[in-house]
Amino acid sequence: MKPILCALTLSFLLPTTLVQAAASAADTSLESSSPVALRERVEPAPQQQGMIDLARALAQAPETEVNWLETNNDRSLTLYQPASEAEPTGAVILLPDEHSHPDWPQDLHPLRTGLAHHGWDTLSVALPHNTATDVPARSFTSDINADPDNTDQANPQNATDATTQDTEITPMALYAERVIKICEAAIRHLESRQRDYLIFLGTGTGATWAALCTREFQQNHLLGLTLLNARQPATAGAPQLKQLLTELSVPVLDIYQMGYMANEAARLRANSARRALLESYHQGTLPEILPADDGALLVREVRGRIKRYLMPVPMIKQDAEPAEQRPGS
């Protein structure tokens, strides 16, 4: 009976012993292993990938030079189309709307290729991605008992510094600096090709950024500005187009397709120009619906009005000596 009793006792104790040994081994493994690092989440960049795909698609396009402009923070796609004439009139820098790209088929593609056929170098520039409206980074703080009010009171200096930083530089101000840097690189690129007279042409919200860059560089460069279906960016803190117009000293051409909302916005821009006594501001209209002519009407109207209103006055030679006049003549 004793052997049988011992066997029964062991059969009851053995599972418990095995479970305890497994738990002890698991605890030892957790203590000895280093904490598992959370893998950093990489945000997708659909706009940048779209620019790469566009560059590949246009790599074999006739006469289109696909380049990338580099700044400290951005790498922007540009499409350069040389003029078809031996002595180009100048160059046009095209800035797209925030919902389009440098070769948008409704406007930028016919303009960048059509103006090149009529004596203008064109450079269509992709604007950097606007991060001012991005979702803020998520916090993984696990202290559920933390009180935000108590945190601010415990360290008021941090709250003061954060408030000061927010008031000094806003996200849209940083974005505006990025746009200006890209446009500055575009100007240098064209000036390296001996193009002295430049026109900024912006479509949609790109018109606002074209006006901003024109204001920034009008003192040191011979510039003109064309607004096409101009639209104010909806992001808070964006530059106000109506205010920018009052700060310009270059000829401005404002072209828009007729429509209720477009007419009202154009009227407000014209009023701002009148109050600022801008003598070189000209406004013109296009049909509300353009014909299906591959942009021929658009190119004809824009080219004709640029030639009429934005062409610079021929420079007068200052070193020419005045002709002698006889006394009494």
pLDDT at 25: 53
Burial 291-303 (b: 16+ CB within 10 A, else e): eeeebeebbebbb
H or E element: which one contains 51? Answer: helix 46-57
| Least confident stretch, 42-46, 109-113, 306-310 | 42-46
pLDDT at 56: 82
pLDDT tens, position by position, 255-302: 999 999 999 999 999 999 999 999 899 999 999 999 999 999 999 999
Residue 163: inside a domain: no
Give the pair of three-digit tokens for residue 16.
């418990």
Higher pLDDT, 52 or 293: 293
Residue 153: inside a domain: no
pLDDT at 16 over 90: no
pLDDT tens, position by position, 186-223: 999 999 998 889 999 999 999 999 999 999 999 999 99
| E strand residue ranges, 96-137 | 120-125
- For the stretch 177-180, contacts whose Cβ atoms lie closer than 8 Å and that sit 24 or more positions apart, written own/partner, are 178/71, 178/73, 178/74, 178/128, 179/127, 179/128, 179/209, 179/212, 179/213, 180/212, 180/213, 180/216
H or E element: which one contains 93? Answer: strand 90-95
Question: What single string gives the DSSP state of each residue in 211-235?
Answer: HHHHHHHTTTSEEEEEEES-----S
Determine if residue 231 is left, alpha or beta; phi over 0 gives left, psi from -120 to 50 gives alpha, anything else beta: beta
CATH of the domain at 206: 3.40.50.1820
pLDDT at 38 over 60: no
Give the pair of three-digit tokens for residue 116.
């090149």
Residue 267: inside a domain: yes
Residue 309 phi, psi dihedral angles, 5° rounding:
-110, -25
Give the pair of three-digit tokens for residue 123.
């450079």
| Mean pLDDT score across all residues of the chain | 80
H or E element: which one contains 152? Answer: helix 148-154
Residue 100: inside a domain: yes
Higher pLDDT, 230 or 11: 230
Angle of CA points 249, 307, 212, to nearest 5°: 35
Residue 256: inside a domain: yes
Domain that holds residue 193: 69-130+168-310
Residue 288: inside a domain: yes
Instruction: Provide the number of structural domains found in the chain.
Output: 1
pLDDT tens, position by position, 132-181: 554 444 544 444 454 545 544 555 555 555 444 445 678 999 999 999 99
Distance of CA 310 to the CA centre of its chain: 25
pLDDT at 81: 95
- The SS3 assignment for 100 reads coil
Residue 2: inside a domain: no
Q: Quick one: pLDDT band at residue 319, thresholds 50, 70, 90?
A: very low
Residue 20: inside a domain: no
Q: What is the pTM of this model?
A: 0.73
